[in-house]
Amino acid sequence: MITTCTLRKRDALPILAIAIVIIFGVVCPSNYLIMFANMFNIESPTLSDYGHFILFFILGVVSIRQLYARLSIHATDSLFPSCSFLVFSGLVLFACLTEALQFFTFDRTPNFSDLLRDGIGIGLGIVLACFVKKQLYIQALIRSLTKIDTTK
């Protein structure tokens, strides 16, 4: 089934905001990241390890949420819409590009383990968002079929 997905400009703002935060974190020198971590009493390696996963997890969730918002209701019948693999591939490509940007910072280098954390975060974010959306869709469908009136 071919589905159309139209994305309005304001719908892409959350995705763009997260992408800008990720790019800023990538090109930021290590000493600034250490100062940021010290402000919140976080160890610098912990910030780096969890930061990759959390930011790309959020990016995966928001991207799939925007995809579901634009797809027709029949395109969301399966757990994973047909476009979700394209979203995953695009976000992994974005993760590769952000790791490659670290070649241009003077005190940081790209790391395969960071890329792996990014990919796992993206994948889990997409799976969780698809699962939650499907569960909400099933609950709404059951409510509409049973026509339970909660107003008295």
Q: How confident is the model at residue 118 (pLDDT cuts 50, 70, 90)?
A: very high
pTM metric for this prediction: 0.76
Q: How many CB atoms lie within 10 A of CB 78?
A: 11
Q: Pull the structure tokens for residue 81.
A: 């819409």
Dihedral of alpha carbons 96, 17, 125, 44, sign: positive
| pLDDT 10s digits, 121-131 | 999 999 998 88
Give the model's pLDDT for residue 1. 42
| pLDDT 10s digits, 1-49 | 444 455 555 667 888 888 888 888 887 777 777 887 888 787 877 777 7
Three-class secondary structure of residue 148 per DSSP: coil
Q: How many CB atoms lie within 10 A of CB 79?
A: 12
Mean pLDDT of 84-89: 86
Q: What is the DSSP string of 58-103?
A: HHHHHHHHHHHHHS-GGGGSSSS-TTHHHHHHHHHHHHHHHHHHGG
Please say whether the beta carbons of 67 and 84 come within 8 A. yes
Q: What is the DSSP string of 14-26?
A: HHHHHHHHHHHHH
Task: Identify the residue with better confidence: 98 or 35.
Answer: 98
In the chain, where the domains are located: 11-144
Task: Identify the residue with better confidence: 77 or 12.
Answer: 12
Q: Pull the structure tokens for residue 126.
A: 């997409």
